């Protein structure tokens, strides 16, 4: 995929009691691809499940991180640039660094971007107001956000591609392999892509009680969709308790967004990576306890999303609607089909008993 990086806009405001600094962010890929959609929703909005066949906005959306110098002091800074379709973007700034890497969430702020022009001359202009009410603007060049004070360059925030530290983790001794890309022997109702990826809407043949689980998943790129229509699936642990999968890149991180557990808890931090990035859930699950048919202890979970703890020993009072199993019995891992092409690989379970 050929692409040329062009200007856009961003501004950075000083935090921690220092003076404000003007700067900028956003981006553009100039050579338009003859992108082919793998699917489309009922309204004809584009849905992409192949990173090699997307649109002109895809190469510039993503994460940017670096340092900004203010009055001789250097401060870490992160930006998430979210494609919203047809040249529109949302930019989210994080003093301290990216989520899970030092972000000061109390100082988070957002801006909007619009692509101006076409082809290699296109520019994405982004403007917004920070947490203190200060207006900002800026630009991106050569794959990095260039922080500006007027025309003076203050700093660069290069584009980064974070990867989960558990991506590709091998199944340990005693694990039940649900899917390894070689066959569908470990799942019921399974379908594979030509590239050997598992498609949504399956459950493991194995059932379990207490267990640890490793799941690798990739959310589709659906820039024009919003909310629950944007890359939706879910991992129902024991067929009963859902850890949500959703393209929530740059969003708040609610209990119905990526990493959330419906009606139980939002993730401690929104660790959702950009769409079409491989992501991981590593889950330590303790099943509920029953005596004489009465529940005496709720299910509990510790969940790591892309290596970061987002729920620690969380108590879950009840099952999630839409599951394939009820509470109080061994159950499978169920990967929900919500109509979006979510893909999976390298899934295994280690039963504790």
- The residues facing 278 across adjacent strands are 218
Closest CA to 268 of 237, 218, 303, 315: 303
Rounded Cα gap, residues 200 and 202, in angstroms: 6
Alpha helices in the chain, H assignment, sequence order: none
The model's pTM: 0.86
Q: Where does the pLDDT of residue 43 fall: very low under 50, low under 70, confident under 90, or very high at 90 and above?
A: low
Rounded Cα gap, residues 145 and 7, in angstroms: 9
Rounded Cα gap, residues 80 and 273, in angstroms: 9
Structural domains in the chain, CATH included, are 39-160 (2.40.128), 176-351 (2.60.120.560)
* pLDDT over 70 percentage in the chain: 87
- The residues facing 308 across adjacent strands are 305
> pLDDT by residue (tens digit) across 104-138?
999 999 988 888 777 677 777 777 777 778 777 77
Which position has the token pair 């379908």? 191
Closest CA to 263 of 242, 277, 248: 242
Q: Under 8 Å CB-to-CB from 248, ≥6 apart: which residues?
A: 254, 257, 258, 259, 270, 272
> pLDDT by residue (tens digit) across 138-169?
777 778 777 777 777 778 899 999 999 999 99
Whether pLDDT at 328 is above 90: no
Of 155 and 57, more confident: 57
Contact 65, 71 (CB under 8 A): no
Environment class of 149 (CB within 10 Å of its CB; exposed 0-12, middle 13-18, buried 19+)? middle
DSSP assignment letter at 318: S
């Amino acid at each position: 995929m050929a692409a040329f990086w062009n200007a856009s806009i961003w501004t950075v405001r000083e935090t921690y009691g220092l003076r404000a600094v003007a700067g900028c962010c956003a981006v553009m890929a100039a050579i338009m691809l003859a992108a082919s959609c793998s699917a489309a929703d009922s309204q004809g909005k584009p849905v992409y499940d192949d990173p090699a066949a997307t649109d002109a906005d895809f190469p510039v959306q993503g994460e940017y991180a670096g340092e900004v110098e203010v009055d001789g002091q250097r401060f870490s800074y992160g930006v998430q640039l979210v494609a919203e379709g047809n040249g529109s973007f949302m930019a989210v700034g994080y003093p301290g660094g990216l989520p899970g890497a030092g972000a000061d969430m109390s100082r988070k702020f957002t801006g909007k971007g619009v692509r101006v022009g076409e082809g290699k001359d296109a520019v994405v202009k982004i403007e917004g107001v920070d947490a203190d009410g200060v207006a900002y603007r800026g630009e991106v060049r050569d794959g990095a956000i260039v922080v500006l004070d007027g025309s003076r360059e203050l700093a660069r925030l290069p584009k980064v591609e974070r990867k989960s530290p558990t991506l590709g983790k091998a199944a340990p001794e005693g694990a039940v392999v649900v899917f390894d890309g070689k066959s569908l022997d470990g799942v019921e109702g399974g379908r594979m892509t030509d590239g050997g990826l598992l498609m949504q809407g399956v459950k493991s043949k194995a059932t379990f009680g207490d267990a640890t689980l490793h799941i690798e998943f990739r959310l589709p790129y659906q820039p024009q969709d919003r909310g629950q229509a944007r890359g939706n699936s879910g991992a129902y642990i024991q067929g009963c308790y859902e850890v949500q999968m959703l393209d929530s890149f740059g969003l708040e991180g609610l209990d119905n967004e990526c990493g959330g557990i419906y009606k139980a808890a939002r993730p401690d931090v929104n660790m959702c990576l950009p769409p079409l990035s491989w992501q991981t859930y590593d889950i330590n699950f303790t099943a509920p306890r029953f005596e004489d048919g009465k529940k005496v202890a709720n299910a509990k979970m510790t969940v790591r999303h892309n290596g970061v703890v987002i729920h620690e020993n969380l108590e879950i009072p009840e099952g999630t609607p839409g599951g394939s199993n009820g509470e109080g019995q061994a159950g499978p891992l169920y990967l929900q089909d919500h109509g979006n092409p979510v893909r999976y690989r390298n899934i295994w379970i280690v039963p504790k008993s």
